[in-house]
Amino acid sequence: MSTDGFDQTFAEVFEDIFGWGVEVGDDDGPATVEGWDSLAQIRLVHELETRFAVRLPDSALLEEQTVGSLKALVRAHGE
Amino acid sequence: MESEPTQLRFGPAEVEAFARASGDRNPLHLDPEFAVDTAFGGPVVHGALVAMAMLGVLPDEALTRVQSVRVLFPAPVRVGERLEVSSLSSDRGWEVRATLRGKVAVRVLARAEPQPAREHPPAIADATAGARPEPAAPDPARLRPGFRIGGEYELSPGLATLAQGYGAGALNPALLAGLAWSSYVVGMEIPGRHSLFAGVTLSLGAQLEPSGFSVTVREHDERTGQVVLAGSVAACQATIECFALPATRRPEPAALLPREPPDRSRGEVLVVGCSRGFGAALALALLARGYDVHGTYRSSPRRASALTALAGELPAPAGRLTLTRCDAADPAALAALAEGRERDGAPRLAGLVLNAALPPLGMGLTADAGPDLAQYVAQSVSLAAVPLGAMLGQLDEQGGFVLVCSSAAVSAPPREWPHYVAAKAALEGLGRWVAASRPTLRTVIVRLPKMDTAMTATPSGRLGAASADAVAAWTAEQLSGAELTSPLAMLEPKLEAVPA
């Protein structure tokens, strides 16, 4: 997947979970994105796994993540 | 364009009316004793009812144009809670948000265009359903991708009346039906009894199922219980996101037995908050070590009788269990309990366990949520201060103990629980005061880890949770052993997590 396609899919997943117009950078996380709580993170991980056809480790579900750390996890567990 | 915020509140009568109109009679909404034994701590309003009422804030000329609706339920709304509702219109459509406890609890996105439908997986199993009077019991076969149910879904005239009452009468009836039906599917069919509705996308389409519905499991994630369903009812296509929640575990007497033989001369322990979870397991572990236990509980008579039955399974010579139903924060009830002990010549009071607590729902700390936080802390402190005030005078100076049930959340505060962290820290302060003012007693503060109790029967709750039985057995060993000396001990058990 091209970098553009990768980022585009990420942005779609975030919109799906957090609603319209949410714009996030790699440093954003639960502290800066309204509604990013433990339930939202589970849905986020599930949606990323479905869209990118990857399986992320349990730490992705449980530990505090940022947009950047989730991107790194998807890249490391993809292909 | 943003609207002026309005308020919404749902009482038991509104919830009952929606249950009748939709057929979603899940006990989480209707049975207070069932609901109190969940992570939500009390009856929860149907998310679909909240969404319907939220759509009612949009003007009729907008509602008549709506072709698709996406609803997200990030947080539960309990019966009686007040929601702030505001709406926003943009070039994409209309967005309505409902906030409480400093968080968005429900978000509704309505559009004038249909949503592209997701593909249905091929069906592998069929079952008939519809108008089920009781929710389906947990069954892994019903969560398997490809599992499909179909049946009739009668739309009651009551639903249209309800919608009109909330100002949502102009919404397309098929979307209204889809909203009520998706609530019915999650609460009654898949997953059924132990479930959480997380979101739904509804879109008007061709009349696929003229007189009924079908719904197929598309995905099931075993780590968290997340389930994605695809289906249709009347002229409405739906993608439903929900969770199958773990059922509450009963304590296992065999896991609670002592290392040393029981000693029946230990006296009595008052366990405040003993009918469920850690309190129930600790009561059994103390009985198994020979203590008599006098337990109090507030809201779960069914759990209390289950505890009596479990106590009967302990090997002799176990202690004697007495149960009193009362609110631990009620001064008159606790004073009566203390007087009754003196009058009846009860055994010496060897210990007091302060375990009663309120289940924390996630909170965001905003200025508006500040008073909610303060109220939670005050109620939590009352549940310990009132029993402590009533019983402190009776505690045996020779080795008597006060166990303050705190939480590992004090050492590692979870982002969503500022009220819980503050309440548990306040209890620890109370414990320190007991240790300073009554130095001959043994005051023990235990920071309990995340455990497999009702409080953690949530999508992420059981990941990394320890067994409540193991933690209770460990704590009872500490209390009955000779290691803990006065005036103060801080315990933070580190036990292995049980597989989720």
pLDDT tens-digit map of B351-390: 999 999 998 999 989 998 999 999 999 999 999 999 999 9
- pLDDT band at residue B78 under the 50/70/90 scheme: very high
B20: its two tokens? 């009748």
Give whichever of B169-178, B295-304, B379-388 has the largest mean pLDDT: B379-388
- B122, pLDDT greater than 60: no
| Chain A residue at shortest CA distance from B219 | A50
ipTM of the prediction greater than 0.85, yes or no:
yes
- B123, pLDDT greater than 70: no
- B52, pLDDT greater than 80: yes
Q: Does domain B253-491 have CATH number 3.40.50.2300?
A: no
Structure confidence at residue B425 (pLDDT): 98
Structure confidence at residue B2 (pLDDT): 72
Residue contact A62–B460, C-beta within 8 A: yes
Q: Which residues of B309-320 are buried (b: 16+ CB within 10 A; e: fewer)?
A: ebbeebeeebbe
Residue contact A19–B95, C-beta within 8 A: yes
DSSP-derived secondary structure letter, B251 = P
How many domains does one find in chain A?
1
**Gap between the Cα atoms of B403 and B411, Å rounded:** 18
pLDDT 10s digits, B316-342 = 999 999 999 999 999 999 999 999 999
Domain layout of chain B by residue ranges = 6-244, 253-491
Q: Which residues of B351-367 are buried (b: 16+ CB within 10 A; e: fewer)?
A: bbbbbbbbbbbbbbbee
The Cα of A40 is separated from the nearest Cα of chain B by a number of Å equal to 7
The Cα of B222 is separated from the nearest Cα of chain A by a number of Å equal to 11
pTM: 0.91
Residue contact B416–A37, C-beta within 8 A: yes
- A2, pLDDT greater than 80: no
**CATH number for the domain that contains residue A47:** 1.10.1200
Size of interface A-B (CB pairs under 8 A): 59
The Cα of B78 is separated from the nearest Cα of chain A by a number of Å equal to 17
Is the separation of the CB atoms in B83 and B105 below 8 Å? yes
pLDDT 10s digits, B23-48 = 999 999 999 999 998 999 999 999 99
Q: Residues of chain B with pLDDT > 70: what percent?
A: 95
| Chain B residue at shortest CA distance from A50 | B219
Residues of B whose CB is below 8 A from A60: none
Mean pLDDT of B414-437: 96
pLDDT 10s digits, B437-450 = 999 999 999 999 99
Q: Does the bond joining B317 to the residue before it have cis omega, within 30 degrees of 0?
A: yes
Torsion region of B476: left, alpha or beta (phi above 0 gives left; psi -120 to 50 gives alpha):
alpha
Expressed as residue numbers, the domain containing A51 is: 3-20+29-77
Q: Does domain B6-244 have CATH number 3.30.559.10?
A: no
pLDDT 10s digits, B163-173 = 999 999 999 99
Give whichever of B48-62, B116-130, B208-222 has the largest mean pLDDT: B48-62
Structure confidence at residue B128 (pLDDT): 64
Among B229, B311, B285, which residue's Cα sits nearest to residue B471? Answer: B285
Optimal mutation site among A12, A36, A41, A42, interface B, most CBs of chain B within 10 A: A42
